[in-house]
Amino acid sequence: PCPGQVRSYYVDWRMLRDVKRRRMAYEYADERLRINAIRKNSILPKELQEVADKEIAALPRDSCPTRIRNRCVLTSRPRGVRRRWRLSRIVFRHFADHAQVSGVQRAMW
Residues that bind another protein (CB under 8 A): 30-31, 34, 37-38, 41, 43-45, 47-48, 51
Q: How far is residue 13's CA from residue 98's CA, in Å, rounded to a whole number?
A: 29
Q: Which residue lies nearer to another protein by CB, 20 or 34?
A: 34
The letter for the amino acid at 105 is Q
**Least distance in angstroms from the C-beta of 106 to another protein:** 30
Q: Which residue lies nearer to another protein by CB, 12 or 27?
A: 27
**Least distance in angstroms from the C-beta of 28 to another protein:** 13
The letter for the amino acid at 107 is A
- The 3-state DSSP class for residue 38 equals helix
**Least distance in angstroms from the C-beta of 14 to another protein:** 29
Q: Which residue lies nearer to another protein by CB, 16 or 44?
A: 44
Spell out the alpha helix ranges (H) of 44-103.
Answer: 46-58, 89-97
> Are the CB atoms for 60 and 51 separated by under 8 Å?
no
**Least distance in angstroms from the C-beta of 69 to another protein:** 25
State residue 93 phi and psi, 5-degree precision: -65, -40
Q: Which residue lies nearer to another protein by CB, 34 or 93?
A: 34
